[in-house]
Amino acid sequence: MLDELRSAARKVGSERSLRGLLIDCKRLLSERGEANSAGIAHDLVARFSALPDEQQGTFFERLSSDFSPDPKAVLKSAQAYAEAPNAHNLALLTQTTEPPRQELLRRINRSPGGTSSIVAMRRALLARVAKKPELQAVEADFLHLLSSWFNPGFLQLQRVDWNSPAQLLEQIIQHEAVHQIDGWDDLRRRLQPDRRCFAFFHPQLPHEPLIFVEVALLPEMPGQIAPLIDKASKPLLPSQFKVAAFYSISNCQPGLKGVSLGNFLIKRVAEELKRELPQLKTFCTLSPLPGFARWVRADSVCEGLPKARAQTLTEAHQALLAACGGDFDKITTAAALRTLNADASAALLRLGAHYLACHSPTRSGDPVARFHLDNGARLERLNALGDLSVKGAKQSFGLMVNYLYDLQKIEAHHEKFVQGEVAHSRAVSALL
């Protein structure tokens, strides 16, 4: 009984907080001068983050309903502009059609710590958008502004090594999403001179990396991930470096999802390494195929293919099915994959090549493949038994792939990919 009362009181309290918050949003927007804005804005984000989860949701809904453009005003200014498309009418049009919440966010961004608060707000917002599609317009405004503020011109590339602050390294350990870092000793190996790590920072979040990439400097293009992340491996000498292999790229800020960072990072790092180590001739990745096993199992591998191709592919599919006795689950362990016969292995590579080369340009294509191919990389080589970890075996029957970054050709390859064509090596051609 008492508990219910308390809970009710809390609810009333938080509803009152929310009302107050929205009033202050209006106040912040109506501030003509900028004198008070920073203070109001600072206050506002503190109060938002103190709101209970449910009220935060309501807040976003109110951002959608109360801070959108006024349809009537929009229509009127659009008509005026249609009749006389001059500077004055355009100014009016811009004013009436821009959602007022954009200006609200800009003013919040002006206060100390504002950028960081907006990134955090978007993180909370993204968690809700899936369930409430009407929040998409609000989300679009957040993304629009954050893309402008986190544009690559404002980002700072920083090398991360064993001389970096421990608090930064701790974040690297925590955010590594591709090949987990197993404590400080593992990290230490990954920061030796034949391994590199680079991160992007924004001046407004000086102590928080936005995204980072890990690179291995090697004598040749790698086919397996295990030796690259073996913490007991012996560092190579600079004279042995020929290839720079990007083997992991991880985002650190969920609130910046959708803001382009990775493609710039890879290119900046490639240029940086080329400058430091002119002996490097090849820049490539060693990448997973996270959606491969799912696609193989889905039985839609031949969808939309010309007959001849469909034929080959069906054969490969059947060869693999035969090898695992009709049950793909049987080949999702390192042990099973190691004992596959030559035919099955060949079938696996053939299926992988098709998955990447033909399926990637479609919307449902592999996300990692789409990322690198859209960046202008070339599909270079498929590697059987490349990742025999539990995850690797399950997601892609152990397959890994190298994408090649030929800095001279990335523009051309990117153009091709936009047209639906995937640049690939002869070795890959042979598999198709």
Site for a second copy in 310-339 (CB under 8 A): none
Residue 335: count other Cβ atoms within 10 Å of its Cβ: 9
Give CB contacts under 8 A, 24+ apart, made by 410-418: 410/267, 410/375, 410/376, 410/377, 411/376, 412/376, 413/373, 413/376, 413/377, 413/378, 414/374, 414/375, 414/376, 417/361, 417/373, 417/374, 417/376, 418/374
Which of 179, 372, 413, 424 is flagged as catalytic?
Answer: 372
Question: Does 82 sit near a second copy (CB under 8 A)?
Answer: yes
Of the candidate spans 55-63, 128-136, 216-224, 360-368, the one that interacts with a second copy by CB under 8 A turns out to be 128-136
Site for a second copy in 140-179 (CB under 8 A): 140, 145, 147-149, 151-154, 156, 162-167, 169-170
Query: Would you call 287 helix, strand, or coil by DSSP?
Result: strand
> Cβ distance 393 to 329 under 8 Å?
no
The yes-or-no answer on residue 372 being catalytic is: yes
Q: Lay out the site mask for a second copy across 174-213 (x = CB under 8 A, - = otherwise).
A: ---------xx---x--------------xx---------
Burial status of residue 274 (CB atoms within 10 A of its CB: 0-12, 13-18, 19 or more): middle
Residues, the chain: 432
The yes-or-no answer on residue 287 being catalytic is: yes
Least distance in Å: CB of 412 to a second copy?
9
69 contacts: CB under 8 Å, gap ≥ 6: 96, 97, 98, 99, 100
Which of 168, 346 has the CB closer to a second copy?
A: 168
Least distance in Å: CB of 47 to a second copy?
18
Contact with a second copy (CB under 8 A): which of 44, 125, 135, 401? Answer: 135
Q: Lay out the site mask for a second copy across 264-293 (x = CB under 8 A, - = otherwise).
A: x-----------------------------
Question: Does 219 sit near a second copy (CB under 8 A)?
Answer: no
Of the candidate spans 315-323, 333-341, 369-377, 381-389, the one that interacts with a second copy by CB under 8 A turns out to be 369-377
The Cα-based distances of 330 to 182, 288, 295, 317 in angstroms read: 29, 20, 16, 15
Question: Does 39 sit near a second copy (CB under 8 A)?
Answer: yes
Which of 64, 395 has the CB closer to a second copy?
A: 64
Question: Does 390 sit near a second copy (CB under 8 A)?
Answer: no
Site for a second copy in 5-34 (CB under 8 A): 32-34
Angle (deg, nearest 10), helices 114-129 and 53-66: 90
Report the catalytic residues.
287, 372
